[in-house]
Chain A
Amino acid sequence: MVWRCEMTPQELDDLLSAARSRPAEASSDFMARMLEDAYALQPDPVVQAAPAVAPPGLLARFSRWVFGFGGAATGLATATAAGVWIGFVQPAPVTTIRVALQGAETVEQVDLIPSLDGWLSEG
């Protein structure tokens, strides 16, 4: 009778598998030390900085001073005021363009609904 005493590859693999299925048990003290290290060496939380706000422009500040509010409403109010001012004062550039297009009539004399007489006289 011959007795085989050599470990087979399968037996060794089984032994290694058994070792693999037995993970190391870390003590609570060890885990606590690891956590303390991790916390101690951790960078401070990243704080999101508020986006930088540009200072308001001169017009916006003027509008805010005059009308007491800003934003889109300020632009609308400014445009309205400018239109009223142009209508009353009729600055030189505007007058020049109007004269070139319409002749010397003043704005108040523009006939928005022309008479039909001119058309009828043609027969």
Chain B
Amino acid sequence: MLAGNARLLMTMPLDDLTDLSDEVLLARYAQGDRSAARVLVLRLSPRVLGYAARLLGDRAEAEDVAQEALVRLWKIAPDWRAGEAQVTTWLYRVVTNLVTDRHRARQRRAATALDEAPEVADATPGAVAQMIEADRMAALDTALAQLPDRQRQAVVLRHIEGMTNPEIAAIMEIGVEAVESLTARGKRALTAILSGQRAALGYEDEGAEA
């Protein structure tokens, strides 16, 4: 059943709906347009999943969060007020909040949590050094996982999801200056974490000085 639906989803024509904005498609979805539902699922699901996976570092959990966020979108669709917010901004905010809730639950369960460390820049890069396969993407994911929640969210939204600072401010419900601060601190922390792995990550020693 699922595989059949997936094949159908990938092969069925999408008419000319792919040029329409998320907001227009959501309005059509609310009117019962099944083509709009397909386009929205194809367009939004991978993005939401990718963002959740970056924040959580766990694929299964990320799928749960992405599914929950999309379910909330479908439920609010009939009451969606055009022009009030972008669909993606709203979705990313929901994912961010869901992930934050899960992190808090993790912290309650764990005796100690990395997020409670005072400042990641102080952390030794030993955690990354334990990686058996020092793939750059894996190293980045591992480093991102060590950032405090808000820094990780800001860095991922800005540098991986490609959002603008005002968009991130809307998603995180903070000011633009706070976004800039979180992003800068997050990048400094990433640099500190990854620096010890520079050679393992395959960067050349062009910086060597005689």
Residue of B nearest to A46 (CB): B31
A33 lies within 8 A of B195 (CB): no
Residues on A with C-beta less than 8 A from B38 are: 35, 38
B203 lies within 8 A of A29 (CB): no
B2 lies within 8 A of A32 (CB): yes
Q: A4-B209, A37-B71, A37-B74 are in contact. Are A46 and B191 (CB under 8 A)?
A: no
Residue-wise, chain A 8-37 has the 8 Å CB interface mask toward B (1 for contact) of 110111011111101111101111111111
Rounded to whole angstroms, the CA-CA distance of A11 and B198 in the bound complex is 10
Rounded to whole angstroms, the CA-CA distance of A15 and B160 in the bound complex is 10
B208 lies within 8 A of A29 (CB): no
Residue of B nearest to A36 (CB): B5
Residue-wise, chain B 17-53 has the 8 Å CB interface mask toward A (1 for contact) of 0000000000001111110011011100111011001
Q: Is B132 in the interface zone, CB < 8 Å from A?
A: no
Residue-wise, chain B 176-205 has the 8 Å CB interface mask toward A (1 for contact) of 000000000001001100111011000101
Residues on B with C-beta less than 8 A from A46 are: 31-32
Q: Is A44 in the interface zone, CB < 8 Å from B?
A: yes
Number of residues in A with C-beta < 8 Å to the partner? 41
Q: A22-B137, A43-B31 are in contact. Are A12 and B190 (CB under 8 A)?
A: yes
A19 lies within 8 A of B37 (CB): no
Q: Is B109 in the interface zone, CB < 8 Å from A?
A: no
Residues on A with C-beta less than 8 A from B74 are: 37-38, 41-42
Q: Is B136 in the interface zone, CB < 8 Å from A?
A: yes
B195 lies within 8 A of A15 (CB): no
Q: Is A5 in the interface zone, CB < 8 Å from B?
A: yes
A20 lies within 8 A of B162 (CB): yes
B159 lies within 8 A of A33 (CB): no
Rounded to whole angstroms, the CA-CA distance of A33 and B74 in the bound complex is 13
- Give the A-B contact count at a CB cut-off of 8 A: 140
Residues on A with C-beta less than 8 A from B42 are: 31
B209 lies within 8 A of A41 (CB): no
Rounded to whole angstroms, the CA-CA distance of A8 and B53 in the bound complex is 26
Residues on A with C-beta less than 8 A from B7 are: 28
Rounded to whole angstroms, the CA-CA distance of A4 and B204 in the bound complex is 10
Rounded to whole angstroms, the CA-CA distance of A41 and B77 in the bound complex is 10
Task: Please give the distance in Å from A87's CB to the nearest CB on chain B.
Answer: 60
Residues on A with C-beta less than 8 A from B140 are: 15-16, 19
Residues on A with C-beta less than 8 A from B136 are: 15, 18
Residue of A nearest to B74 (CB): A41
Residues on A with C-beta less than 8 A from B199 are: 5
List the 4 closest pairs (A to B, CB-CB), nearest first. Answer: A24-B50, A45-B32, A28-B6, A4-B207
B interface list, Cβ under 8 A from A: 1-7, 9-10, 29-34, 37-38, 40-42, 45-47, 49-50, 53, 63, 66-67, 70-71, 74-75, 77-78, 136-137, 140, 155, 159-162, 187, 190-191, 194-196, 198-199, 203, 205, 207-210
A interface list, Cβ under 8 A from B: 1-9, 11-13, 15-20, 22-26, 28-39, 41-46
Besides A34-B67, A39-B37, A42-B77, 7 new A-B residue pairs in contact (Cβ under 8 A), listed by A number: A3-B205, A31-B41, A35-B9, A35-B37, A37-B67, A38-B40, A38-B74
